[in-house]
Amino acid sequence: MKPEFEKIVEPAEHSFTAKVVTRASRPLLSQAWHYHPELEICLTVKGRGRRFVGNHISEYEEGELVMFGPNLPHGFTTDVYGSQIVVQMTSDFLGEVFFERPETHVIRNLLNASRQGLEFSGTTKKKSRQIMQKMLHETGLPRLLLFLELLHVLATSTEVSPICSKEYAHGFDVKEMGRIKVVYDHIMENFTQPVSIKEVADKLSITEAAFYKFIRKHTRKTYTQIINEFRINYAAKLLMSTEKSISEVCFDSGYNNISYFNRKFKQLMGKTPAVFRSLYQ
């Protein structure tokens, strides 16, 4: 199953799209995984969940600011109400040569870098949020000027990090990412259960040996590493939101060995489950 192509319809009175997107929930990647030729800047105003960008998986929460380049597959899954401000535009929305001008070279660099996906932090998020909220209430030239100001803030920020590797960004294949979506959906539905390589390999109609190579090539990780990321993120949520004992959290997250669980939790979260819970509380 390939990532869905999304056709973005720009209002006749605007050269780019700026809107608020809300949803009650969207738990499966198959409901969210898509791509489009437009660049996208996305600010999460409310909500939390799991973010998929290319071959990268991470958690997202309120205040996150990201930018996706053209045709970069992405999707946000969540089981709670969420609200995001989304700005989308083509790379030539102001004409084919506008970003070739000397005055706009920093923005051109930003657009090129966005092919890897970009995540912004610190004061950049605060400044950008103020601008994006103003954009929603403006039209015409004031709206365009605010957008150029937003692009300048992002282009000159040092509080930015790439999401995907350069190798992935230059080697993207829509068909292969559709197969990755099948894998991720299978993991999301089964990560608390015993891992079955054969079961997910059968879904792709390939052998287990071919599946191992496929996962390593397209995610730069092993299947076990991906499973552990899902399980530990889930365990962290249980530690923060329930009174369950650490052993209960261990078993509920899909592990059957507490010492292994503690080791993996510390490896991925930087702290033991007990320390993590005490710091949160």
The answer on 195 and 134 residing in a single domain is no
The answer on 202 and 156 residing in a single domain is no
The answer on 116 and 15 residing in a single domain is yes
Nearest to 15 by CA among 154, 143, 151, 153: 143
Per the prediction, the chain carries an average pLDDT of 86
Residue 201 lies in a domain: yes
> How high is the pLDDT of residue 1?
41
DSSP 59-90: EE-TT-EEEE-TT--EEEEBSS-EEEEEEEE-
- 161: part of which helix (H) or strand (E)? strand 160-162
The answer on 144 and 234 residing in a single domain is no
The answer on 40 and 73 residing in a single domain is yes
**How far apart (Å, rounded) are the C-alpha atoms in residues 158 and 220?**
26
Indicate the number of domains in the chain.
2
The pLDDT tens digits for 33-87 are 788 889 999 999 999 988 888 778 888 999 999 999 988 888 898 888 899 999 9
The pLDDT tens digits for 183-202 are 888 888 888 988 888 999 99
The answer on 89 and 55 residing in a single domain is yes
- Kindly report the pTM of this predicted structure: 0.66
Please, how many CA atoms are within 13 Å of residue 62, restricted to the half-sphere of its CB?
Answer: 7
> How high is the pLDDT of residue 176?
67
Residue 267 lies in a domain: yes
Residue 173 lies in a domain: no
> How high is the pLDDT of residue 186?
86
The CATH number assigned to the domain holding 261 equals 1.10.10.60
> How high is the pLDDT of residue 65?
97
The answer on 198 and 120 residing in a single domain is no
Nearest to 230 by CA among 72, 58, 77: 58
> How high is the pLDDT of residue 6?
62
> How high is the pLDDT of residue 189?
85
For residue 263, report the phi and psi dihedrals to the nearest 5 degrees: -65, -45
Beta carbons within 10 angstroms of residue 247's beta carbon? 12
The answer on 205 and 158 residing in a single domain is no
Q: Which residue numbers in the chain have pLDDT < 50?
A: 1-2
Q: Which domain holds residue 134?
A: 4-168
